[in-house]
């Protein structure tokens, strides 16, 4: 959502809701949704039900389509607003600037700032119309000049111009006009798709976040049973912290609950529990929940 909605960041943040409330509020008041995920079902069945909510395949498909549309539009806009070789000239060149007859034609030539065009163009071909060149457009890098010559000398002129570091630019008023129309069409389409994509993201963000939190709760239960055995005898707490104090909080918790598993304080711990590495292993069960993934500074809960 941050990428699609763009800055400012609070624009995306205001849409990061779960059941209509902000994420931290939902987390602190979390209750297992028995209607969606009946606790009488086996754990494997609950996991399957929860995982079906996560529309990652559809997200990739929608994101690919939207990003492809955006890239195409950006490329066209960049070309038409780019350097002298690609920028749009329809607002600059008038049809009367271009001589098109049975024998004559007008070319547009890109000339770098440091090159001498006026002294050179007439000698590039004997079939150039004398004093026919006009400056069409100029920027800090150079200019675009028109030159009229006989059609039969176009190939010869282009070759000689290239030798002199002049660039003959292919130009057609009708082609440029079609490009402008295509940009307008794509801009409208992108705006429509942006609205559709944002609405889809908002709905699915909520669903995925809720499912994700249920997975966290499920893991707390499963890991506690695996670690401490039966009968079930544990209490789950939600502790709010931030990046600055999270390390200190974990140290305090390890000290407080060291009696649950004294080996956890050893420098080297042999841990065969899937998904847990040595650095993550502690005497208590702990899972991180980020509630500020759309913010610059992320508050979190453990």
3-state secondary structure string, 60-123?
A: HHHHHHHHHHHHHHHHHHHHHCCCCCCCCCCCCCCHHHCCECCCEEEEEEEEECCCCCCCCHHH
Q: What is the pLDDT of residue 107?
A: 93
User: Where are the alpha helices (H) located in 126-282, listed in sequence order?
Assistant: 154-163, 173-228, 243-256
Q: Do domains 1-71+185-234 and 95-170 have the same CATH topology?
A: no
Q: Show me where the domains of the chain are located.
A: 1-71+185-234, 95-170
Name every residue whose Cβ is closer than 8 Å to that of residue 2 and which is 6 or more positions away in sequence.
9, 12, 294
User: How far from 275 is each of 131, 183, 272, 278, CA to CA, in Å?
Assistant: 78, 49, 9, 10
Please state whether beta strands 142-150 and 134-139 pair in parallel, antiparallel, or not at all (unpaired). Answer: antiparallel
Quick one: pLDDT at residue 298?
A: 46
The tokens for 247 are 């390390």
Q: What is the largest CA-CA distance in the chain?
A: 101
pLDDT in tens, the chain (302 residues): 777 877 655 566 666 788 888 888 888 889 999 999 998 999 999 988 888 765 677 888 899 999 999 999 988 887 777 777 877 777 788 877 888 889 999 999 999 988 889 989 999 999 999 999 999 888 888 899 999 999 999 999 999 999 999 999 888 778 878 888 999 999 999 999 999 998 888 888 888 888 889 999 999 999 889 888 888 888 888 888 887 888 888 888 888 888 888 777 654 445 555 554 444 678 888 888 877 665 544 445 55
Residue with token string 């208590």: 284
Cis peptide before 231 (omega within 30 of 0): yes
Residue 40 to residues 46, 87, 231: CA-CA distances in angstroms? 9, 66, 17
- Per the structure block, which two tokens stand in for 67? 């990003």
- CATH of span 95-170: 3.30.70.100
Query: How far apart are alpha carbons 270 and 259 in whole angstroms?
Result: 18
Give the DSSP per-residue string, 78-94.
Answer: HHHTSSTTTS--TTT--
Q: Strand pairing of 104-112 and 167-169? A: antiparallel
Whether this model's pTM surpasses 0.75: no
- Residue 159 CA to residue 109 CA, distance in Å, equals 12
Q: Label residue 128 exposed, middle or buried (CB < 10 Å: 0-12, 13-18, 19+).
A: buried
Domain 1-71+185-234 CATH (choose: 1.10.10.10, 3.40.47.10, 1.20.1460.10, 1.10.3720.10): 1.20.1460.10
Q: What is the pLDDT of residue 301?
A: 55
What distance in Å separates the CA atoms of residue 249 and residue 281, rounded to the nearest whole number?
15
């Amino acid at each position: 959502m941050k990428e699609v909605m763009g800055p400012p960041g609070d624009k995306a943040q205001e849409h990061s809701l779960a059941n209509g409330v902000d994420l931290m509020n939902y987390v602190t008041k979390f209750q297992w949704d028995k209607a969606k995920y009946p606790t009488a079902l086996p754990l494997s069945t609950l996991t399957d039900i929860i995982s079906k909510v996560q529309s990652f395949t559809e997200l990739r498909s929608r994101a690919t389509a939207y990003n492809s549309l955006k890239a195409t539009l950006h490329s066209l806009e960049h070309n038409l607003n780019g350097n002298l070789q690609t920028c749009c000239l329809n607002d600059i060149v008038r049809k009367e600037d271009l001589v098109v007859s049975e024998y004559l034609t007008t070319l547009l030539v890109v000339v770098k700032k440091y090159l001498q065009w006026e002294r050179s163009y007439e000698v590039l071909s004997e079939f150039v119309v004398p004093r026919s060149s006009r400056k069409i457009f100029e920027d800090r890098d150079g200019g675009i000049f028109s030159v009229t010559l006989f059609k039969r000398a176009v190939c010869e002129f282009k070759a000689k111009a290239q030798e002199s570091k002049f660039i003959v630019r292919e130009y057609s008023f009708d082609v440029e006009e079609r490009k402008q129309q295509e940009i307008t069409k794509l801009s409208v389409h992108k705006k429509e798709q942006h609205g559709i994509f944002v609405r889809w993201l908002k709905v699915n963000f909520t669903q995925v976040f809720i499912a994700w939190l249920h997975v966290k709760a499920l893991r707390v239960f499963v890991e506690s049973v695996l670690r401490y055995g039966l009968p079930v005898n544990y209490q789950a707490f939600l502790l709010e912290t931030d990046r600055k104090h999270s390390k200190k909080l974990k140290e305090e918790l390890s000290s407080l609950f060291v009696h649950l598993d004294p080996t956890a304080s050893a420098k080297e711990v042999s841990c065969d529990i899937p998904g847990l590495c040595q650095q993550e292993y502690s005497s208590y069960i702990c899972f991180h929940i980020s509630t500020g993934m759309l913010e610059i500074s992320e508050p979190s809960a453990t």
